[in-house]
Amino acid sequence: MTPIEIGLISVIAIVFLIYAGVYIPIALGVVSFVSIWLMRDNFTLALNLLKVAVGDSAMEYSFATIPLFTFMGLIVSKAGLGRDIYEVMTMRFRKVKGGIGMATVGANAVFAAVTGSSIASASVFTKVSVPQMMAQAYNPRFAVGVVAGSSVLGMIIPPSAMLIIYSFVAEQSVGDMFLAGVIPGIMLAIAYVGAIWVMGRFTPAFVGGRVVEDTEWMSGREIASKTLPTLFIITIVLGGIYTGWLTAVEAGAAGAFVALIIAVARKSMSPRAFWDALLETGHITAAILFLITAASIYSRMLGLAGLPNQLQDLLAGNSASFWSIMLLYVLLMLFLGTLLDTASIILIVVPLFLPMAEALDMSLIWFGIITVVGAEIGLLTPPLGISCFVIKSTINDDRISLKDVFMGALPFAFVMLVVLFVLIEFPILSLALI
């Protein structure tokens, strides 16, 4: 077989193995290693490339952002800051039709700016928001759909684990990727709030709920105590990166340190909880490092096979326009989103399309935002919408089926798709802060 044929078979084999349940880095690494061995008929070359991939991943300085931001997110979650933000948002929006849903979106957006995890957001707000919406007679599908839809903000609003993974695969600055995610993340949150208002106005039966007239307002001091700690962390992290005072690694360290001080001051961090956070940080960091190492050897395999160049020549030969290329790219991500998780999509698709994006003078920072937003739609689509599965497993309510979660999330997946096409049409929205 030719290298091209081996490369194509390898990509198909990787997708099949991941869908069959094989651990993603194992599927990427083993198939890529064997493919290089077959293409060059040289076991030593394949082994040396694997060593280079491991060394490049482990020795990368910016890789330190992963454990630092992960630790910061875990500390913030354990400190109960997500619940505090939600309580303030609920107080402000309760008198509006669908107001608790809007409050959930707003609280999720703020929480995303200090955690960077869709899974964490889905877990926290399923416990906090869904019971309250159910108590106020909201439609169960709408209640879980709001949480599912707004949970994806954790992967777009920085700091984001997916933005970090993309930055390593595409060899882009983590700090630039973080700044590029700010405006798209805010846009998506505003679009969600607008969509909830429209649904409350024109499809009130889907939203349900009752307007609360006797809301007890918090005092200014109470609002400040619940919001200022989170805003302070956001200011240090994103403000430090935006002003250039801190690198992404330094901002992660500063944010983690401040979050730890806040948790201790609030007496929400026991020695046991601190140790659990350290262990979980280690587990997540090791898993992501394994992913990045596997993606590195996979990229080298694709380069040896010549698949990215073949794809570029195919599209150029057919005189494909910018929009036809982007439409193909989005459709591919949406299709894979029904089968694979976000990290898998990024690791499989991005190395194939990066050379073409560079040849067409596309900004790789903008391309990364398009990639993450497109891949995140997969978190809300069956059969493998991870956020939906997390919500179903967390809610532990027989009245809400997995189908209800997916159906509730569907309008928000559509809103994401609309925002995605706006970001494609206007790249400046992603690049304005850089």
pLDDT digits (tens, 9 = 90+) for 277-332: 889 888 888 887 887 788 778 877 877 877 777 777 776 666 678 888 889 888 88
Contacts 24+ apart (CB under 8 A), 243-247: 247/175
Phi/psi of residue 157, nearest 5 degrees: -70, 125
Burial status of residue 223 (CB atoms within 10 A of its CB: 0-12, 13-18, 19 or more): middle
pLDDT at 214 over 60: no
- Residue 274 pLDDT level (bands cut at 50, 70, 90): confident
Q: How does the average pLDDT of the chain come out, rounded? A: 83
Burial status of residue 148 (CB atoms within 10 A of its CB: 0-12, 13-18, 19 or more): buried
Contact indicator for 292, 336 with CB cutoff of 8 Å: no
Higher confidence at residue 422 or residue 28?
A: 422
Q: DSSP readout, 158-208?
A: SS-HHHHHHHHHHT--HHHHHHHHHHHHHHHHHHHHHHHHHHHHH-HHHHB
Among all chains, which residue has been given the structure tokens 């990166």?
241
pLDDT digits (tens, 9 = 90+) for 325-376: 889 888 888 877 776 777 778 888 888 888 888 888 889 999 999 999 988 8
CA atoms of 233 and 349, how far apart (whole Å): 34
Tell me what pLDDT residue 132 has.
Answer: 82
- Residue of 268, 223, 266 lying closest to 89 (CA atoms): 223
Higher confidence at residue 134 or residue 369?
A: 369
CA atoms of 434 and 49, how far apart (whole Å): 34
- Residue 1 pLDDT level (bands cut at 50, 70, 90): low
CA angle 354, 115, 391 (to 5 degrees): 95
Tell me what pLDDT residue 224 has.
Answer: 82
Tell me what pLDDT residue 101 has.
Answer: 87
Amino acid (one-letter) located at 163: L
- Residue of 288, 47, 41, 286 lying closest to 159 (CA atoms): 288
Our measurement of the distance from residue 302's CA atom to the centroid of its chain's CA atoms, rounded to an integer in Å, reads: 25
Percent of the chain with pLDDT over 90: 14
pLDDT at 246 over 60: yes
pLDDT at 11 over 60: yes
Tell me what pLDDT residue 345 has.
Answer: 82
Is the dihedral angle over the CA atoms 412, 415, 417, 423 positive or is it negative?
negative
pLDDT digits (tens, 9 = 90+) for 20-44: 778 778 888 888 888 888 888 888 8
- Identify the weakest region by mean pLDDT among 78-87, 111-120, 140-149: 111-120
- Residue 107 pLDDT level (bands cut at 50, 70, 90): confident
CA atoms of 352 and 312, how far apart (whole Å): 9
Averaged over 142-166, what is the pLDDT?
A: 87
pTM of the model: 0.84
Averaged over 230-256, what is the pLDDT?
A: 88
Coil, strand or helix at 138: strand
CA atoms of 296 and 91, how far apart (whole Å): 48
Higher confidence at residue 71 or residue 53?
A: 71
CA atoms of 329 and 370, how far apart (whole Å): 10
- Residue 12 pLDDT level (bands cut at 50, 70, 90): confident
Alpha helices in 244-385 (DSSP H): 248-265, 271-305, 307-317, 322-337, 342-359, 364-376
Averaged over 189-212, what is the pLDDT?
A: 87
pLDDT at 424 over 90: yes
Percent of the chain with pLDDT over 70: 94
